[in-house]
Structure 1
């Protein structure tokens, strides 16, 4: 699913963000990406999303060589990836149903497909009764559920979660993690960047720890191992 081969990223201000990173993530894995602030996790994610280019090395995602695809192909590549952010990034003028449907409209789904799929996904994240609500009428946890629904409505093979529980209380965090586990069990590969030590330690999934731009640790059923 994901292969980083000798990937280095140096920004224009000579900041070394990643240094000779080699990582392979198999289809269907659930992987935590951990490390101190500024370690390189955000750069790793930005490279996956084709938001920044590596300075050297090769990145392959789902058989697509990111160092070779043309600029015009990037939007089509991103359609195969679901993304969930800490700050939700919902469209405030659209209600719950419309926010999720928007992701389908972008890829040209028909109205019939949207009417069939959106209610199913909202049911999965427990928001069937809130489909008419607007983002400002929802709690933080509910907004993140909408974000999750939007991220998976197009059946992505890969879901990237960037600090998805960072703004949530402990109880809501557990609920979001349960949903992510259900999504993973259904076959979606998940890469989740987080500082949430308790989540990482309790779930006992694969942990890739990045420190000063290098892979400091890569363990199956690992632990967080850092104090920020």
Structure 2
């Protein structure tokens, strides 16, 4: 589904963020992206979101060659990619329901589709009863559940999670990981960048380790193996 072929990225200040990366991620996989700060994880993610382009090499995602995407096609491509952040990024003046519905409105979904789909995903993340509530009235874990609901409401083929448990206590983090695991088992490919050693070691998923722009380890049932 995802393939990086001989991908390198050199920024203007001559920083080599990625160096000749070759990676394949199959449809339906759950992959952890780990490594020290500055290793190249953010660049890896930004390339999949078509926020930055490789200096050399090519990237395919779900049959789409990102190097040939026109600027006008990028918003349509991104509709197939869900994104979850460490800081939730909910819209503060919109209710839970409206935050999730907003993601559907952006892609042109009908009012009928929204009325049907939003309650379904709120139920999936266990927050059906909070649909009228605003983000500031929710706990951190609840906010992350809503951001997850928003990320999957349009049935993306790929879900990217960037430190999704970074602001959560250990117990809530486990709950979010259980949700991500369920989403993955339903068929969504998940790429999660994290420094959470306990979570990576507990989940026993594929681990891609990046150091100084190079993939130094690729293990099917990997561990974190970094000092934290």
What interval of TM-score do these two structures reach, taking the shorter chain for normalisation? over 0.9
Matched, 1:92 2:92: yes
Matched, 1:74 2:51: no
3-state DSSP class of the match of 1:167?
coil
In the alignment, structure 2 segments of 5+ residues that lack a partner are none
**Post-superposition shift, 1:200?**
0.4
**Post-superposition shift, 1:106?**
0.5
**Post-superposition shift, 1:227?**
1.6
**Post-superposition shift, 1:160?**
0.3
Name the structure 2 match of 1:35. 35
Name the structure 1 match of 2:136. 136
**Post-superposition shift, 1:226?**
1.2
For normalisation by structure 2, the TM-score amounts to 0.99
Matched, 1:112 2:120: no
Contact 1:122 1:149 (C-alpha < 8 Å) held by counterparts? yes
Contact 1:36 1:227 (C-alpha < 8 Å) held by counterparts? no
Contact 1:201 1:222 (C-alpha < 8 Å) held by counterparts? yes
Aligned alpha-carbon RMSD (Å): 0.5
* Residues 82-140 of structure 1: per-residue CA shift (max 9 Å, x gap): 00000101100100000000000011111111000000100000110101110111111
Name the structure 1 match of 2:18. 18
* Residues 30-89 of structure 1: per-residue CA shift (max 9 Å, x gap): 000000110000000000000011100000000000011100000000000000000101
Contact 1:81 1:159 (C-alpha < 8 Å) held by counterparts? yes
Q: Distance in 1 between matches of 2:13 and 2:227?
A: 27
Name the structure 2 match of 1:9. 9
In the alignment, structure 1 segments of 5+ residues that lack a partner are none
Name the structure 2 match of 1:227. 227
Q: Distance in 1 between matches of 2:226 and 2:49?
A: 26
